[in-house]
Each structure stands twice: as C-alpha cells, then as structure tokens.
C-alpha cells in the first residue's frame, strides 16, 4: 500500500482526576496522534510519550522530533506491503520505541481496514471481551486510597492495582487488604526501589498480591532475579522489557514470573505479539498495561489483550475513568463482569471525532508524498 499522507497532532487532554505515581503527578495527558492515508483509507495511531521523561526517556517533544525528522520521512510516499516492511525501513534508527509504536499502530489499522477485519482478528485475538482492572494512583493518605478503591469496586472493577513508592507501601497495602480481604490486588513501584532498600518489598509478600510490578531499576534484570528468589509473590516486569530478547533473558534468569506488555514500550504491536508468543510457550502469564490512552490507543490495547496469553486483567479501564470527553467513539464501557468488549468493526473499530480532536490539538504537521 502506498502511504500518500501522514499527519501528526500533539494533543493535550485533561484527566478526570490527577494521576500520581512514584515519578510524579499528571493533571493532563499529552500524546501524539498519527494519521496515515493510503488507498483511500485512514489509519490512526497514538504515540503514548507524555510531557516529562518520568516513565521513559521519551517525551511528547522527543517523539515529535524523531517522528517528523526521521520516521515519517522514511515512510511517506513509500509502497509498504507488510508491517515487517515498515519495521525494516525504521531499523536504521535506534531507540524511541514509543514513537515507533504510534506509527506502527496507524499502519496496522490501515492494513486491518484494507482486509475488512477488526484489528483483534488481524492480530490473532480469540476473545470477544477482555478482563480489565483499574490502576489507582498514590492518594493523599491510606484512608482516601481505601475510599477511592471502594468507589471503583462499586463501579464493577474486580482487580485493583495501586501505585507504591518508598514510604507509601506496606501501610497502604495493609489498609487496602484489611478493607477488602478478597480483592484481586497488585502493586506497581515504577522502579522506585533498589535491592538495598527492598525490605519493604519483601514485607509485601504476606498480603496475597497478584504480583509486584517493576520494583527495581529498568536496566537491572540481575537484581530482579535475586529479589524474585526471596519472594513467594510473582515479580512482573514492565519498564525492563523493551523487546522479545529482554523478555527471553528475564524469563531465563527468573527475573520475573509475569510480564506486562505495553505495545508502546516495546516499539509496536508486532513486538508485543512476539513477546506474547514467547510467554505463551514459556507459561508466563501476560497482561496489557496502560498509558492513560485516548480511545484510539485504548482500542489497540483491547485488541491485543484479546490474544490467548493475556490471562490477567489489563490496565485498560473504561473511557470515563480517564476523560470527560474522549476523542473516539463509541466510548469503552465496563461490563458487569469487569470486562470490556473487543470492537468488531474493521481496523481499530472506533471513529475519531474530528471536532473534539481539533479542540485538544496544540500543534499539527502534515507530510505529503
């Protein structure tokens, strides 16, 4: 397919509530939306790099630079037949997986539309609905945390993840466990600990958690392996896994027993599928992480979460958990069994609302063949 046109939009959307992690607080979500045109079709992608380099080194601005100066010029006007062709053209460039993944998502959407298939089917999905949970940011105190979680449970979420950091870990978990003894509960440290101060992580081992996510530094598989040997609870890696090679090495040395797959973090849906396949063969459960996506990225996450190895609930909550007004329609709505429906229309299966997109656009740039 010849890619005739590519447009980028830097957008900013106000979150319904501030989201606090061990690396900071977000009031607004910035990202780059990609629009690809070919054969009369329009494909949509979302690059999930945010405003600050808190989660990864990439930001909305670095993604904008790398996309406009390198990735997009390597694609626009070209005849691209498969996703592998697209990946080949970008192989000369190093890094920047979040930027890469946004472009790849838009191409996957184009290809799935051209084939008349929902993205989930094009990726090999097998589920009609996917199990989901909600990720709760750090709250002012444990009481407010318990209260906030209670509200999400009342809305129908049956799996909760809480963010932790040194000083806000064991007491928070203990309070939540006391209030909700049977809740499916997991924690995420976003690499806020070192092996030396991991005693509070060990103290979490007695709270029947589903998993402990990314306790140590992203480039430290060895210490994760040492820590896993001291825990009954499974360590789940997120930031450490940027490729199928990292996943294989982490599994080989028992640095984790569960993997969080975010297509953005690993450079796109194809690499995400490769990690899924490896984990399925190795009996490592996976689940789909979230980056506070708009309805565009959420549609892609729901599609990949329909693959057979995604057996744990994803951080893919309903649209109203994030934004008052999303840019894509229809919104994702929580089913009573804590699942979301997988879209059934061709491609991503959601429609982007032009007026709303215009209202949240800070900057745009178009490239023609």
Catalytic positions, written as ranges: 163, 262
Residues across the chain: 369
CA angle 205, 206, 210 (to 5 degrees): 65
Tell me: does residue 47 bind ligand NPG (CB under 6 A). Answer: no
Least Cβ distance, residue 238 to ligand NPG (angstroms)? 6
Alpha-carbon separation of residue 50 from 3, 91, 243, 251 (angstroms): 27, 24, 21, 29
The residue within the footprint of ligand NPG, chosen from 38, 118, 131, 289 (CB under 6 A), is 289
Question: Which stretch, 66-74, 94-102, 109-117, 290-298, contacts ligand NPG (CB under 6 A)?
Answer: 290-298
Tell me: does residue 319 bind ligand NPG (CB under 6 A). Answer: no
Tell me: does residue 326 bind ligand NPG (CB under 6 A). Answer: no
Binding flags for ligand NPG, 55-84, as an x/- string (CB under 6 A): x-----------------------------
Residue 101 preceded by cis peptide, ω within 30: no
Question: Which stretch, 99-107, 191-199, 284-292, 361-369, contacts ligand NPG (CB under 6 A)?
Answer: 284-292
| Residues 221 to 250 in contact with ligand NPG, rule: CB under 6 A | 238
Long-range contacts of 341-345 (CB under 8 A, 24+ apart): 341/128, 341/129, 341/302, 342/118, 342/120, 342/125, 342/127, 342/128, 342/129, 342/130, 342/302, 342/303, 342/306, 343/118, 343/119, 343/120, 343/299, 343/302, 343/303, 344/118, 345/118
| Residues 86 to 125 in contact with ligand NPG, rule: CB under 6 A | none
Element containing residue 273 per DSSP (H, E)? helix 269-281
Q: Tell me which residue of 256, 189, 187 sits closest to 216, measured CA to CA.
A: 189
Q: Tell me which residue of 47, 1, 4, 2 sits closest to 369, measured CA to CA.
A: 4
Binding flags for ligand NPG, 171-200, as an x/- string (CB under 6 A): -----------------x-x----------
Least Cβ distance, residue 187 to ligand NPG (angstroms)? 11
Q: Give me the residues paired with residue 171 across strands.
A: none
Least Cβ distance, residue 297 to ligand NPG (angstroms)? 9
Q: Which two tokens stand for residue 108?
A: 């996957």
Least Cβ distance, residue 118 to ligand NPG (angstroms)? 21
CB 8 within 8 A of CB 359: no
Report the residue number, 86 or 303, with the smaller CB distance to ligand NPG.
303
Tell me: does residue 133 bind ligand NPG (CB under 6 A). Answer: no
Tell me: does residue 317 bind ligand NPG (CB under 6 A). Answer: yes
Least Cβ distance, residue 317 to ligand NPG (angstroms)? 5
Tell me: does residue 45 bind ligand NPG (CB under 6 A). Answer: no
| DSSP string computed for 356-367 | HHHHHEEEEEEE
CA angle 91, 93, 98 (to 5 degrees): 95
Greatest C-alpha distance within the chain: 60
The residue within the footprint of ligand NPG, chosen from 75, 315, 332, 357 (CB under 6 A), is 315
Please work out the total of residues on this chain that contact ligand NPG, with binding judged by CB under 6 A.
13
**Contact set with ligand NPG (CB under 6 A):** 21, 50, 55, 135, 188, 190, 238, 289-292, 315, 317
């Amino acid at each position: 397919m010849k890619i005739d046109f590519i447009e980028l939009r830097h957008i900013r959307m106000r979150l319904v509530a501030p989201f606090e992690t061990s690396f900071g607080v977000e009031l607004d979500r910035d990202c780059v939306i990609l629009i690809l045109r070919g054969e009369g079709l329009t494909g949509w992608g979302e690059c999930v790099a945010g405003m600050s380099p808190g989660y990864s080194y990439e930001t909305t601005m670095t993604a904008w630079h790398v996309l406009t100066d390198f990735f997009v010029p390597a694609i626009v006007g070209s005849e691209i037949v498969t996703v592998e062709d697209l990946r080949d053209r970008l192989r000369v460039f190093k890094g920047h997986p979040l930027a890469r993944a946004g472009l790849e998502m838009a191409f996957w959407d184009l290809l799935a539309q051209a084939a008349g298939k929902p993205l989930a089917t094009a990726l090999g999905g097998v589920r009609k609905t996917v199990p989901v949970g909600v990720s709760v940011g750090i709250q002012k105190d444990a009481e407010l945390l318990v209260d906030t979680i209670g509200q999400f449970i009342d809305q129908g979420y049956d799996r909760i993840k809480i963010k932790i950091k040194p000083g806000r870990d064991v007491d928070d978990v203990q309070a939540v466990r006391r209030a909700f003894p049977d809740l499916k509960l997991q924690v995420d440290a976003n690499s806020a600990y070192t092996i030396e101060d991991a005693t509070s992580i060990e103290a979490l081992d007695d709270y029947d958690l589903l998993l402990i996510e990314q306790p140590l530094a992203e480039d430290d598989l060895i210490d994760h392996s040492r820590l896993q040997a001291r825990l009954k609870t499974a360590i789940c890696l997120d930031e450490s896994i940027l490729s199928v090679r990292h996943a294989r090495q982490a599994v080989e040395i028992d640095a984790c027993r569960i993997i969080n797959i975010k297509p953005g973090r690993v450079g796109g849906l194809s690499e995400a599928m490769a990690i899924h396949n490896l984990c399925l063969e190795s009996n490592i459960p996976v689940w789909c992480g979230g980056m506070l996506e708009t309805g565009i990225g959420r549609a892609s996450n729901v599609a990949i979460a329909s693959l057979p190895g995604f057996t744990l609930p994803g951080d893919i909550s309903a649209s109203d958990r994030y934004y008052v007004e999303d840019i894509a329609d229809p919104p994702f709505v929580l089913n009573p069994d804590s699942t979301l429906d997988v879209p059934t229309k061709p491609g991503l299966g959601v429609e982007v609302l032009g007026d709303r997109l215009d209202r949240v656009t800070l900057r745009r740039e178009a490239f023609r063949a």
